[in-house]
């Protein structure tokens, strides 16, 4: 923040060499911390302990095999010991390995997949190929640490250190490491908004983004329409003829942008494992578009054939027949993939916007594609090195986020202390400040009394509530009664000593982050009994 005397010196920018030498060992620390907290075998001496830790589910049987999600095999497992799965810590999108129930801890897996669906009684995993053996035997699933993520970040560090003077980002890198000042177009950029409701701060931000020649920071405090503005920037850039790579740290944030772009009929492609995408964006997925291409009829036939064979495989006990079926399945799956690979290049070439997670941007499929603009949403919640994966593919970038909200989650206390959590967004905001930044200043979520606190404490009192939310109350919602719990705009809750760890966060979520009405009602039910605790700690609650 600028001071009245103007004497506060800007921090000296981090050099590329410093960044590389600081980050490499911290990534190793973080990887170790993640492995020891999540992996089944690394930390557990026996299978029962692993199951108790929730990182392994023992005694499973395969109850269904389907071909779906663009050629993936969806295998459903249930417990052999009862109707409900034992307590576990598996979540959708986790990477898991399948093993024989009796196999030793370090034994090789029958297959590796991604958790697609979780119910109390079953778990469905998406595999690239049907495991060759063992589906008729008792099985177990083990959660594995996602080492690919760390490998990709390490590779990005290596690329950064080698390819500074070459490649699409050769002009961007010196700006982001303070060696060259950011440039801005001298002409005023005027544009006709696609979204007629944009407020003045959103329009100003779009204009500034369109004028930037290297880097622009979109600072979006809670509920101020950061993603709305990102979408407008993408639409304007597409209109200008730019090819854009749009990313975020999480799949959900990427899908959120896809959903908002689809109605504008933008030529877009969503890259990512189909099991990790929201069902409503599957149509935009790369694999789906490939299947719709010229080869789709053939691919369909192949999939039908695979489905029939999968059914047969489940019923067949004879070892030789099973081997024959598996061989045939492998050939078919190879054939399907070959056709898809050819089609992938066509789909990516013709897209104006490619969307994926930061880590997903490492995909080999993008190896020969460069971009006029890389946009990163949630940039203040992402590790800097993860941002560099897409950034290395473009000559300009827009980073959207709010460095005054939660930083990225770091597992290793030591890595966090030594600066792994310091984000690119925060670093650039400190080095270049207003020169490259626009802050959104109208919020569309909170009652103004809730907003006032954060506005004063964090945003120099610059945030204003839009009239549609400035005085809205929880009991305005359909189905919410006016009671002592829903009446106050602000509620002070003491969680000290009552064992309600996490409650503070819950309330914070309610106040700031969620827009979904059903979700809010559900949370209200949970919160109501907790309100009886003695009050000491200050927090705020009202419909957001």
Ligand X SMILES: Nc1ncnc2c1ncn2[C@@H]1O[C@H](COP(=O)(O)OP(=O)(O)OP(=O)(O)O)[C@@H](O)[C@H]1O
Residues that bind ligand X (CB under 6 A): 197-199, 202, 220, 222-228, 444-445, 513, 515
Q: How far is the CB of 423 from ligand X (least distance, A)?
A: 15
Rounded to the nearest 5°, which phi and psi values hold at 473?
-125, 155
Q: How far is the CB of 225 from ligand X (least distance, A)?
A: 3
Q: State the DSSP code for 386.
A: H
State the Cα–Cα distance between residues 542 and 473, nearest whole angstrom: 6
Nearer to ligand X, 468 or 501 (CB): 468
Residue ranges in 273-383 assigned as alpha helix (H): 286-292, 296-315, 319-350
Partners of 158 in the β-ladder:
none
Nearer to ligand X, 119 or 462 (CB): 462
State the Cα–Cα distance between residues 103 and 442, nearest whole angstrom: 58
Q: How far is the CB of 466 from ligand X (least distance, A)?
A: 7
State the Cα–Cα distance between residues 295 and 301, nearest whole angstrom: 10
Nearer to ligand X, 13 or 222 (CB): 222
Task: Name the residue number minimizing CB distance to ligand X.
Answer: 225
DSSP letters for 401-460: E-TTS-----S-HHHHHTTTT--HHHHHHHHHGGGTEEE--EESSS-HHHHHHHHHHHST
Q: How far is the CB of 221 from ligand X (least distance, A)?
A: 7
Tokens of 416: 């966090």
Nearer to ligand X, 97 or 233 (CB): 233
Closest CA to 478 of 520, 531, 447, 526: 520
Nearer to ligand X, 31 or 445 (CB): 445
Q: How far is the CB of 518 from ligand X (least distance, A)?
A: 15
Q: How far is the CB of 432 from ligand X (least distance, A)?
A: 22
Q: How far is the CB of 124 from ligand X (least distance, A)?
A: 30
Nearer to ligand X, 231 or 383 (CB): 231
State the Cα–Cα distance between residues 208 and 151, nearest whole angstrom: 35
* H or E element, residue 74: strand 72-79
495-512 core/surface letters (b: 16 or more CB in 10 A; e: else):
beeeebeebeebbeebbb
Nearer to ligand X, 142 or 448 (CB): 448
């Amino acid at each position: 923040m600028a001071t009245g005397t103007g004497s506060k010196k800007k921090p000296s920018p981090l050099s590329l060499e410093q960044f590389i030498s600081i980050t490499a060992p911290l990534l190793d620390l973080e990887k170790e911390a993640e492995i020891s907290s999540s992996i089944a075998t690394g930390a557990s001496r026996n299978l029962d302990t692993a199951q108790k830790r929730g990182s392994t589910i023992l005694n499973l049987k395969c109850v269904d095999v389907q071909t779906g999600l663009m050629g993936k095999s969806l295998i459903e497992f249930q417990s052999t010991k009862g109707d409900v799965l034992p307590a576990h810590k598996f979540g959708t999108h986790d990477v898991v390995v399948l093993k024989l129930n009796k196999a030793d801890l370090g034994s090789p897996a029958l297959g590796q997949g991604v958790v697609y669906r979780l119910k109390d009684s079953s778990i469905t995993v998406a595999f690239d190929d049907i495991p060759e053996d063992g589906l008729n035997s008792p099985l177990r699933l083990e959660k594995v640490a996602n080492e690919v993520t760390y490998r990709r970040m390490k590779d990005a560090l290596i690329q950064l250190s080698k390819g500074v003077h070459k490649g699409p980002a050769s002009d961007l890198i010196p700006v982001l490491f303070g060696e060259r000042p950011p440039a801005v177009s001298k002409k005023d950029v005027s544009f006709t908004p696609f979204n007629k409701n944009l407020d003045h701060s959103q329009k100003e931000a779009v204009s500034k983004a369109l004028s930037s020649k290297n880097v622009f920071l979109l600072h979006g405090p809670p509920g101020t329409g950061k993603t709305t503005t990102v979408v407008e920037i993408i639409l304007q850039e597409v209109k200008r003829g730019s090819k854009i790579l749009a990313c975020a740290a999480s799949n959900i944030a990427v899908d959120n942008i896809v959903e908002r772009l689809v109605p504008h009929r933008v030529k877009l492609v969503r890259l990512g494992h189909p099991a990790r995408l929201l069902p409503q964006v599957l149509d935009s997925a790369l694999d789906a578009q490939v299947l719709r291409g010229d080869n789709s009829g053939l691919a369909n036939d192949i999939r039908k054939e695979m489905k029939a064979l999968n059914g047969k495989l489940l019923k067949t006990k004879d070892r030789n027949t099973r081997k024959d079926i598996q061989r045939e399945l492998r050939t078919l799956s190879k054939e399907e993939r070959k056709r898809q690979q050819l089609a992938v290049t066509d789909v990516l070439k013709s897209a104006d916007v490619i969307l994926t997670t930061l880590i997903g941007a490492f995909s080999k499929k993008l190896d020969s594609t460069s971009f006029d603009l890389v946009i990163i949403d949630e940039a203040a919640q992402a590790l800097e090195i993860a941002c560099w994966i897409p950034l290395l593919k473009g000559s300009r970038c827009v980073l959207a986020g709010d460095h005054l909200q939660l930083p990225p989650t770091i597992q290793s206390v030591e890595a966090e202390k030594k600066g792994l959590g310091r984000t690119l967004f925060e670093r650039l905001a400190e080095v270049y400040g207003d020169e490259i930044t626009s802050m959104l200043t109208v919020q569309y979520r909170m009652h103004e009394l809730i907003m006032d606190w954060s506005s004063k404490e964090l945003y120099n009192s610059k945030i204003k509530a839009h009239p549609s939310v400035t005085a809205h109350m929880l009991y305005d919602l359909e189905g919410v009664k006016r009671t002592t719990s829903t009446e106050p705009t602000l509620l002070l809750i003491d969680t000290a000593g009552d064992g309600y760890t996490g409650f503070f966060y819950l309330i914070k979520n309610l106040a700031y982050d969620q827009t979904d009405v059903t979700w809010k009602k559900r949370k209200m039910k949970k919160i109501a009994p907790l309100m009886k605790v003695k009050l000491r700690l200050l927090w705020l609650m009202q419909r957001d």
